[in-house]
Amino acid sequence: MSSNSADAIVVGGGVMGVAAAYALANDARRVLLFEQFAIGHALGSSHGPSRIIRLAYEGADYVRLARAAYALWHDLESESGENLLCKVGGLDFGQPDAYMLQGVRATYEALGIPYEALDRDEIVRRYPQFNLPADTVGYYQADYSLLAADRCVATLAAQARRHGATILEHEAVQVVRPAGSGVVVRTERGSYTAGRAILCAGSWMRPLLRQLDLDLPLRVRKEQVAFYKPADPSVFMPGRFPLYVQRFAGTTSLASGFPIYGHAGVKMMVDRIGPEVEPDDPERAIDEPRLDRLRAYVAGVLPGLGNHIVEAVSCRYTMTPDEDFVIGQHPARAQFVIASPCSGHGFKFAPVIGRIVADLAVRGTTAHDISRFRLDRPALQKV
């Protein structure tokens, strides 16, 4: 086999792409992965010191995938010798009618997931950092963990290479097209062939899929986070401050806070409020009005955190209308597998989704339930 051919080509080297390449290479498949920038770049959706992994979902299918992801992250730790997860416990809270809050509790109950129901007074007793309305309710779940995001991406890429994958950085894919039952991919450097292709290009996904006569309603938002350096960092360390997600009534926007981990500051965000942008929009500057909105939120909920922002950064959310992922084979060209595990909550699932798309590419099936993510669901027909 020449250096320009492979069993499978992966387009996109974010966390999903390197996870797919790792799964394929681990199965002794010959893999070419193309990344237009460098592995670990900060222009997409996979960078930064931390992400959440949790079981706090309304759907049993998401919980099953999250449990599989926990196990695979731990397997990757054992194989690589890297520390990728930090178990810290987590809290979902809001007013009783907040978005998804009661659904999360119902899923805990239905699946027998251990949790604690807390009222406002108990939350504040345990975590006096919070200032919360009197009618706040919360659900504490001990399995909430932090993922070392940058290290996760680097480790998946390193292990993919160790198993034989070829990762081509700074090589942007310009053309994808079918060639009989296989695929052809063209970059500025050459033409490459494979039996299958996995497309996981993040915020660049929609224009890539248009080349294959498939237009999905994927919208790219520019979101941002800020890192606060408190006067007393000790009260915001793991063990004293939880990972948390605050939910609100009437909106899918969420607020979240992370204990200090992999950074000098406490990571804070209010997400799903950023402007819609084009995939290639180079603008990464922080939007001051939205940063002011975050400042106001932090001042109200965590008054002891202070106002010393040591860093503010932006990232890209690729959103579907229903905020569920897109995973499956192209409806007319099964040699292309599409993976857009997006909408701001996909990172945690990377190793299991990598396994899923590798199996779809090679065998056309997966042992996991991905029916929620099918390409022909009604929410994706609104282009």
- Claim to verify: residue 328 and residue 315 sit in the same structural domain: no
| Domain of residue 370, CATH code | 3.50.50.60
Q: Are 157 and 80 within 8 A, CB to CB? A: no
Assess whether 233 and 334 both reside in one domain: no
Cα(333)–Cα(331) distance, integer angstroms = 6
For residue 76, being part of any structural domain is answered with: no
Quick one: 207 and 247 in the same domain?
Answer: no
Residue after which a domain boundary falls, among 319, 347, 368: 319
Same domain, 182 and 290: no
134 within some domain: yes
And the tokens for 370? 């991905």
122 and 236 together in one domain = yes
Tell me, yes or no, whether 77 lies in a domain: no
**Are residue 239 and residue 350 in the same domain, yes or no?**
no
CA–CA dist 54, 48 (Å, integer): 18
The answer to whether the beta carbons of residues 48 and 315 sit under 8 Å apart is yes
User: Is position 56 within any domain?
Assistant: no
256-283 pLDDT tens trace: 999 999 999 999 999 999 999 998 898 8
Q: How confident is the model at residue 382 (pLDDT cuts 50, 70, 90)?
A: low
CATH of the domain at 254: 3.30.9.10
Cα distance between residue 357 and residue 328, in whole Å: 8
Q: Same structural domain for residues 138 and 259?
A: yes
Beta carbons of 172 and 101 less than 8 angstroms apart? no
* pLDDT tens string 358-378: 999 999 999 999 999 999 999
Range(s) of the domain holding residue 110: 90-142+219-319
Domain check: are 313 and 226 in the same one? yes
Last residue of a domain, one of 293, 319, 345: 319
Domains: count for the chain = 2
Residues sharing a CB contact under 8 Å with residue 209, sequence separation 6 or more, in sequence order: 199, 215, 216, 338
pLDDT in tens, 182-241: 999 999 999 999 999 999 999 999 999 999 999 999 999 999 999 999 999 999 999 999
pLDDT at 43 over 70: yes
Q: What is the per-residue pLDDT for 112?
A: 98
Given 303, 319, 335, which residue is the final one in a domain? 319
Query: Which string of b and e fits 41-50 if b means at least 16 CB within 10 Å?
Result: bebbbbbbbb
With respect to residue 267, please indicate whether it lies within any of the assigned structural domains: yes
Q: Is residue 113 part of a domain?
A: yes
